[in-house]
Chains A and B, each alone.
Chain A
Amino acid sequence: MSQTQVPAWVSVALLPAINVFAAFLVSALLFMYIDISPIDAIKVMWTGAFGYAEGIGYTLYYTTGFIFTGLAVAIAFHAGLFNIGGEGQAYIGGLGVGLVCLTLGEFAPWYVVFPVAIIVGGLFGAAWAFIPAYLQAKRGSHIVITTIMFNFIAASLMAYLLVDILKPETTMATESRVFAASSWLPKMHEMLSWVGVSMSASPLNLSFIFALLCCLLLWLFIWHTRWGYEIRSVGSNPSAATYAGISYVKIVIIAMLISGMLAGFFGLNVLQGELHQIKLNFVEGFGFTGIAVALMGRNHPLGVLLASLLFGFLYQGGAELSFEYGVDRNIVVVLQGLVILFSGALEHMFKPSLERTYLKLFAKKPSPSEGVA
């Protein structure tokens, strides 16, 4: 085997880029098949997502949701855990946010409700992740299966609550009463108008700032704290970490609690920020998309942020696309599946040939002084 290594940017940046490109290439074929020119489609999506202020607002609104669920998957990944339960944790976390808005929202303004909603939403999400975490750490039941099961249990629980408990007598739809208007999170265009900047109305709200803060805090946590170090150790080699005196049980539970908490924040953006009531299925698969976001973002908060932006673009652009061409919005879901396939499951497919090509093109002949190995 060759001792020469490819530089980090090849595997950290170039390889994912090639994987995503492959996913786009396959989707381009699909677009051509359904009689849409891929070039036109990209143009429509781009102008729809970034071409005007309202579009940008929507893009960033979706981005906010993806940041929360993407970070949730990423932190669990660092501990070597596959948390497929983001969907359920976001759902239950949203319940917490919603309950705070429903009760406290009557008496307190948003700047009081918001911090409480953050705490309660986070706690609810974390609680929903705690049981699978405990069962994985203590009783050896596989986290993937238990979190899948917990997604369904969450769906049943929420359906019950919305149909039988939270639904006001007067409405037919399965949704809670609308939160008191004073508890609604301020929209970004309102906040900008306070300082004299005018921007068209969009659902983008204050929780976007909170999501950015979460990225920063998570980065600090993973790379600059003792727990973060222990989480990464367990993730890269559980038995070595255990020999080094790190408690596997503790780390699994901590990582999953933070994961569930981050997923639980999802409700801030969607419920307190935009819908202003708890609705059936408000998570709409964002929990699953979080997996794609984390995979593409290489589990790094900055990567997650960029990947969330990409998916926000795909969502908003996809909406525009379905408006323009009458195709189904689900075409974005196809793209999402392809991204997961190529940058997740087939991530090693291009690696050997890429490395060979790189070495052939750029590598120096190893000089004798370097040949220590």
Chain B
Amino acid sequence: MFETIILMLDATIRVATPLIFASLAGMFCERSGIVNIALEGKLLAAAFVGAATAHVTGSAWLGLLAGIGISVLLALLHGFATITHRGDHVVSGMAINILAAGLTVTLGRHWFHQGGQTPALSGDARFAPIQLPGAEAMADVPVIGLLYSELISGHSALVYLLIITVPLAWYVMFKTRFGLRLRAVGESPAAVDTAGISVVRMRYSAVIICGLLVGIGGVYLSVAQTAQFIPNMSAGKGYMALAALIFGKWRPFTALAACLLFGFLDAMAIRLQGVSIGDFAIPVQAIEAIPYVLTVFLLAGFIGKAIAPKAIGVPYTKERE
């Protein structure tokens, strides 16, 4: 029983990692007033470019760099459409998602001739699990041994990166001048403008940070978790990260908790496949749907209240140009 729980928590961390990166990314974007349903497309594009680059160069780190690069480019495109040309945020996001879905498969087939997949990554081309010191030795110690060797040790470098990223995101957002201004832009761009701060520059910084973070999440999918790019491998994770962000009320630690909860539900759904209580087979799909149902309930104000940044989705126009 204990071992099952540990294994499920271990799976939770693996499933939740890309969600956490994408959620934090979405937080920066949405706090600055830009709706981001393009997380899905950025995850997918980063996963593809990351795996392709890692395969060609043989270096996972170069893959990470390239994945972040493409994700930032897409973020800039989103910014160009929504900030510079005041286009509709949702339409722009949809366009990026659809573009990413089409381009990854088309280019993947053209480059690797494997039906859109990239060749399997091995050796230095993937982020291998890192065994923390003493994990082997401790494995046999009761309780703590399993906890340490299975749950804490044995993840890829990108998972451990989260230990710094989440507090850092919180610090930047709530304790720095930049964070204060960013939040202000999302609440009242006119006031920020009056104070002599460029709304455009703040929002562009936000989308770039967003691209950077969601890029790491995407590369994690292909270069660390699966060691290969598979068409449509993001499979709705970007939307789920958005749900987690809303569920976490646009705050880093609560979003982290929501991602872990969603990850846990996912791990549970996989675990419960084909399990039945007496005659009643547990519908896995019901568990899979819980995150979405919860988010709908939250948004409807039935469990707490999620209040979005005030100026979200509203293009900012200076009164005089």
Contact = CB atoms under 8 A, between A and B. Distances in A.
Contact of A34 (B81, B95, B110): B110
B242 A145 contact: yes
A336 B299 contact: no
Interface stretch (B58-66, B84-92, B208-216): B84-92
A30 B106 contact: yes
Contacts of A341: 77, 81, 92, 95-96, 99
B95 A340 contact: yes
B23 interface: no
B285 interface: yes
Interface in B68-107: 77, 80-82, 85-88, 90-92, 94-103, 105-107
B281 A152 contact: no
B188 to A, nearest CB: 19
Interface stretch (A97-105, A157-165, A362-370): A157-165
B295 A337 contact: no
Contacts of A295: 91
B129 interface: no
A142 B27 CA distance: 17
Contact of B292 (A140, A153, A164, A291): A153
A346 B87 contact: yes
Nearest to B289: A156
Interface string B278-321: 00010111101100110110011100000010000000000000
Nearest to B40: A148
Nearest to A342: B95
A135 B100 CA distance: 31
Given A34-B110, A139-B300, A333-B98, A152 B292 contact: yes
Contacts of B286: 156, 160
A334 B85 contact: no
B101 A333 contact: yes
B314 to A, nearest CB: 13
Contacts of A144: 35, 37, 90
By DSSP majority rule, is chain A's interface helix, strand, loop, or mixed?
helix
A334 B99 contact: yes
Interface stretch (A62-70, A112-120, A239-247, A323-331): A323-331
Contact of B94 (A153, A157, A291, A346): A291
A152 B90 contact: no
A332 interface: yes
Q: Which range holds the interface residue count of chain A? A: 35 or more
B239 interface: yes
Given A330-B105, A348-B87, A141 B98 contact: no
B31 to A, nearest CB: 16
A349 B85 CA distance: 6
A336 B293 CA distance: 30
Interface residues of B, number: 50
Interface string A27-56: 000100110000000000000000000000
Contacts of A328: 105-106, 109, 116
A146 B286 CA distance: 18
Given A84-B94, A149-B243, A330-B106, A135 B87 contact: no
Contacts of B99: 334, 337-338, 341
A345 interface: yes
Nearest to A146: B296
B236 interface: yes
A340 B288 CA distance: 30
Nearest to A340: B95
Most buried by B among A82, A140, A149: A149
B246 interface: yes
Contacts of A333: 98, 101-102, 105
Contacts of B106: 30, 34, 327-328, 330-331, 334
B196 to A, nearest CB: 26
Contacts of B236: 152
A334 B102 contact: yes
Contact of B102 (A142, A336, A346): A336
Contacts of A163: 285
A286 interface: no
B101 A330 contact: yes
Nearest to B113: A326
Contacts of B300: 135, 139, 141
A165 to B, nearest CB: 10
B92 A148 contact: no
B23 to A, nearest CB: 14
Nearest to A152: B292
Nearest to B103: A334
A68 to B, nearest CB: 19
A145 B107 CA distance: 30
A359 B28 CA distance: 42
Interface string B27-53: 000000001010000000000000000
Given A141-B299, A152-B239, A330-B105, 19 more contacts: A141-B300, A142-B299, A149-B243, A149-B295, A150-B296, A156-B286, A159-B285, A160-B284, A160-B285, A160-B286, A330-B106, A332-B102, A337-B96, A340-B98, A344-B87, A345-B92, A345-B95, A346-B81, A347-B87
The 10 A-B residue pairs whose C-beta atoms are closest, nearest first, are A333-B102, A337-B99, A345-B92, A141-B299, A334-B102, A337-B98, A344-B91, A341-B95, A345-B87, A156-B289
6 contacts: A30-B106, A135-B300, A327-B109, A330-B102, A338-B99, A346-B87
